[in-house]
């Protein structure tokens, strides 16, 4: 890819990656990691799209101002990059908490989008298990995962060296939490979610040493399922036409754990969109 710095404010520039390609633009956003998290994934889309990635302020090679980490500011930064690169009617793909930015941007700038793809990003960070009639167990009662059997946090280890400031991470992932309002989204939507497999398959990944640990794991399993069900219901209310896909056994970084599935779904979704 080519790397460039794009100014979105007088003293703030963002790192933008250009993987090249042919076709309409596709823009990748991450949550609190740089857009280099897509280095292995993005080139596989260049046969169908002109592929870009944007690293949000405060992360990686982008500037790190003391302020400006609200979802609205992130959407404004995104618009700034779109304007500098003259991106029109892009397919916007966001992972995890970047989904909040997608929702706000889509409501405010519908003319700049062909569609939205949420990669485990059409969620509601303001909801707790109690809000959906469930309860998470005490963390101390859960069994430990068996080494090499559970892949919840598989991501490129090279990104460990980015050394994200914990204050900035909190500003992005905690302080900027907001309830999504999908009612303003007019672009077509594809929402891909990680999904747990059958409980016995999940349990096989843990060293369960007591009935208490098994019960705690089952409680966490049920609460997680309840949250995902509510998130999908909320999306469906705001965007009735949204395509919702679950990938059993995928983890949060589904474009790594289930790369072929995610590529297939994005390509199929793009084929249904109106030409740019």
Per-residue pLDDT, 185: 97
Q: Which helix (H) or strand (E) holds 2?
A: strand 2-9
3-state class (DSSP) for residue 242: coil
pLDDT at residue 161, rounded to an integer:
59
List the chain pLDDT tens, one digit each, 276 residues: 999 999 999 899 999 999 999 999 999 999 988 999 999 999 999 999 999 999 999 999 999 999 999 999 999 999 999 999 999 999 999 999 999 999 999 999 999 999 999 999 999 999 999 999 999 999 999 999 887 655 544 555 556 556 778 899 899 999 999 999 999 999 999 999 999 889 999 999 899 999 999 999 999 999 999 999 999 999 999 999 999 999 998 888 999 989 999 999 999 999 999 776
Q: What is the CA radius of gyration of the chain?
A: 19
Beta strand pairing status for 25-29 and 90-95? parallel
Q: Which residues of 61-73 are buried (b: 16+ CB within 10 A; e: fewer)?
A: bbbeeeebbbbeb
3 state DSSP class of 236 = helix
Tally Cβ neighbours within 10 Å of residue 206.
17
CB 81 within 8 A of CB 54: yes
CA-based angle 241:243:244, to the nearest 5? 125
pLDDT at 182: 98
The SS3 assignment for 15 reads: strand
HSE-up (13 A, CA, CB side) for residue 44: 14
Report pLDDT for 181.
97
Q: What is the DSSP string of 184-235?
A: G--S-EEEEEEE---HHHHHTTEE--SHHHHHHHHHHHHHHHHHHHHHHHHH
């Amino acid at each position: 890819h080519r790397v460039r710095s794009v100014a979105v404010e007088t003293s703030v520039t963002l790192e933008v990656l250009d993987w090249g390609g042919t076709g309409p633009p596709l823009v990748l956003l991450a949550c609190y990691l740089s857009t280099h998290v897509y280095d292995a994934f993005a080139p596989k889309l260049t046969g169908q799209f002109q592929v870009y990635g944007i690293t949000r302020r405060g992360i990686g090679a982008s500037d790190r101002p003391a302020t400006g980490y609200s979802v609205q500011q992130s959407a404004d930064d995104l618009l700034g990059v779109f304007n500098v690169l003259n991106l029109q009617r892009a397919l916007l793909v966001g992972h995890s908490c970047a989904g909040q930015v997608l929702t706000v941007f889509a409501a405010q700038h519908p003319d700049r989008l062909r569609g939205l793809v949420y990669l485990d990003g059409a969620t509601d960070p303001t909801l707790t298990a109690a809000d959906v009639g469930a309860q998470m167990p005490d963390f101390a009662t859960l069994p430990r995962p068996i080494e090499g059997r559970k892949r919840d946090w598989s991501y490129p280890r090279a990104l460990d060296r980015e050394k994200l400031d914990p204050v900035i991470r909190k500003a992005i992932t905690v302080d900027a939490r907001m309830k999504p309002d999908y009612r303003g989204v007019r672009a077509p939507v594809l929402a891909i979610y990680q999904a747990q497999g059958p409980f016995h398959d999940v349990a096989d990944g843990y060293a369960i040493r007591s009935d208490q640990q098994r019960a705690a794991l089952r409680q966490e399993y049920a609460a997680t399922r309840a949250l995902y069900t509510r998130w999908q219901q909320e999306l469906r209310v705001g965007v009735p036409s949204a395509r919702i896909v679950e990938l059993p056994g995928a983890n949060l970084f589904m474009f790594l754990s289930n790369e072929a599935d995610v590529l297939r779904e994005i390509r199929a979704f793009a084929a249904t969109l109106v030409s740019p």
